[in-house]
Structure 1
């Protein structure tokens, strides 16, 4: 039997690790889902939020390294903000060594060099939420509840600020295959923008489109997990 693959899953803006926990039920044998929590949300609610990608990755590395070094194969998945975090985490894990990183999945995101032109982080709450909802084409149901909105809004603001202010360091290209995904109806991230990820690695890059808009992963998680598993079953192309 082929040894299991660990899929590290990183949150999109405003979300937590709980979003990915049901994915294990969709995963075929041999695929272990490892959601990773950032500070300030869910069971880490009491911790201070981070507002830069560098801070977030500094927090992620010691949480991922032990599991990564103990795995036979590792992949990383991130959507939108999570794609940026996944990219930077891949660079850090490669630099640390000892992690058998086999593939990077980046979803709903242009290549890392693209600067976000539409900014929302400085807007008042109502305008901020309206802008974010318009961009994503999706609103978390909890934001309709005033008490839950009060808890979730600081997390969403910190994440949007993190994403808006991100500028990639002058990395050399990764030597890891990249699969870049987008929803066919995504009005925020075009097919050409997703294809920009090819310049981030010297290995093979696949660009895949799936049904849905920018937040397609909230609609068809089971189909997405099967797609990721199929990609991981393919031979490594470098």
Structure 2
């Protein structure tokens, strides 16, 4: 795999570690959201954060408004070059959970077995025929939604230029995730699945999160943390122990 791919941002001192944790950001998010995660992992772990087009080091590139195109881009970056034999764990938060799932589907269809666990955070598995959510296009609606979920610093929204840029990214990502539905005929994954959420997340119904068990022939488990949609910012060490099967240093 090429380490210079714009799709993947490495964090931590050991990019060649025996186990890698590939992390997928939320709607409106970017790779740097996960920049501190490597400090919670011991030797032998590498963090690679997916960088979607149109943000940070890829700011000049057009945003991607369709799930199939986005997942294809990530899958190609991960599959580029010689086969990577390292054990890999996927972690996706909110929109990133769906991107991680679709990326893993593509990789497994190519015969890859390096991803042993898919961790889906802060997102239900929507039914294929479920109606699309009402479109959110007005700036005030977007800002209200972001404030309700948290995760965006108020200073960003107070700066007119930053606000315009961020709202454009969020509008694109909301369109992407609101129009996405999983393929009802999808081949089940071989990787284990771990579902994670906060107990006060306004976007997640605890009664529906276990639908993720249906996407795999492997093991399934779920864990509920105290907190809202961005519970993970307060529980990173404990969360990463679950994500890595208890093998972190923290």
Which TM-score tier does this pair reach, normalised by the shorter chain? 0.7 to 0.9
1:91 to 89, 96, 105: 105
The two structures have a TM-score, normalised by structure 1, of 0.88
The two structures have a TM-score, normalised by structure 2, of 0.84
> Residue 65 in 1 paired to residue 82 in 2?
no
1:222 to 214, 237, 250: 237
Q: Deviations over 1:12-44 (max 9, x none)?
A: 000101111221111122221110111000000
What's 1:161 paired with? 175
8 A Cα contact 1:16 1:42, kept in partner = yes
Question: Shift in Å at residue 7 of structure 1?
Answer: 1.0
1:32 to 46, 55, 72: 46
8 A Cα contact 1:184 1:213, kept in partner = yes
Tell me the distance in 2 between the aligned counterparts of 1:150 and 1:38.
18
Unaligned runs of 5+ in 2: 1-16
What's 2:159 paired with? 145
Distance 1:58 1:231, change over 3 A: same
Unaligned runs of 5+ in 1: 234-238
Question: Shift in Å at residue 112 of structure 1?
Answer: 4.1
Q: Which moved more, 1:209-218 or 1:112-121?
A: 112-121
Aligned ranges 1:109-120 → 2 under 5 Å: 109-113=123-127, 115=130, 118-120=133-135
Tell me the distance in 2 between the aligned counterparts of 1:146 and 1:11.
24
Larger helix percent: 1
Question: Shift in Å at residue 96 of structure 1?
Answer: 1.8
Question: Shift in Å at residue 215 of structure 1?
Answer: 1.2
What's 2:193 paired with? 178
Distance 1:232 1:193, change over 3 A: farther
Question: Shift in Å at residue 224 of structure 1?
Answer: 2.0
8 A Cα contact 2:193 2:219, kept in partner = yes
Tell me the distance in 1 between the aligned counterparts of 2:189 and 2:59.
33
Distance 1:72 1:206, change over 3 A: same
For the aligned residues, what is the CA RMSD? Answer: 2.2
Tell me the distance in 2 between the aligned counterparts of 1:153 and 1:132.
10
